């Protein structure tokens, strides 16, 4: 059975997330709620599937430019959501931004790796590795 949550209930479950940040990610198309608002007084509803997506997007929000975050969440997240670990490599050189992702299934030792298209982003310089423990996120959210 799928449970539904308001933005406030989601914010209570994900440490550091504010309702405003969730609304911002939703309005930018990074997150797609299970049920969108049908008008004033009808709040968006997020389900269990959304919780992990929101937690990952929120964790990456401070290091990825909005266009890269949206591209990853919309186009690539479903391919890696069931893996235990995501290692995200961010590298910039001469105002070019590149992102590659290694996803690892710890039980079966089955890695996948892919490169997202480079995009222009003069704000970041250098190289960053981010490790997201997706299995732990799922366990913490009880989904």
| Cα–Cα distance, 89 to 103 (Å, whole number) | 11
Sign of CA dihedral 67, 54, 3, 11: negative
pLDDT digit string (tens) for 6-57? 999 999 999 999 999 999 999 999 999 999 877 787 889 999 989 999 999 9
Residue-averaged pLDDT of the chain: 80
With vertex at residue 102, the alpha carbon angle to CA 98 and CA 104, rounded to the nearest 5 degrees, is: 165
Predicted pLDDT at 122: 44
Q: How many residues does the chain have?
A: 143
Q: Which residue has the tokens 């990456």?
A: 60
* Sheet containing 96-104, strands listed edge to edge, beginning at the edge strand earlier in sequence: 112-120, 96-104, 85-93, 126-133
Predicted pLDDT at 116: 52
């Amino acid at each position: 059975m799928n449970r539904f949550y308001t933005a406030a209930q989601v914010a209570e479950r994900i440490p550091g997330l504010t309702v405003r940040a969730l609304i911002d990610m939703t309005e930018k198309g990074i997150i797609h709620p299970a049920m969108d608002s049908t008008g004033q007084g009808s709040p968006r509803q997020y389900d269990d599937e959304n919780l992990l997506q929101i937690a990952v997007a929120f964790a990456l929000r401070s290091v990825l430019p909005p266009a890269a975050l949206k591209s990853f969440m919309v186009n690539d997240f479903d391919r890696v959501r069931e893996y235990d670990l995501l290692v995200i490599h961010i590298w910039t050189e001469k105002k070019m931004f590149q992102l590659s992702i290694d996803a690892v299934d710890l039980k079966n030792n089955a890695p996948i790796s892919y490169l997202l298209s480079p995009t222009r982003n003069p704000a970041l310089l250098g190289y960053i590795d981010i490790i997201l423990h997706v299995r732990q996120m799922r366990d913490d959210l009880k989904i």
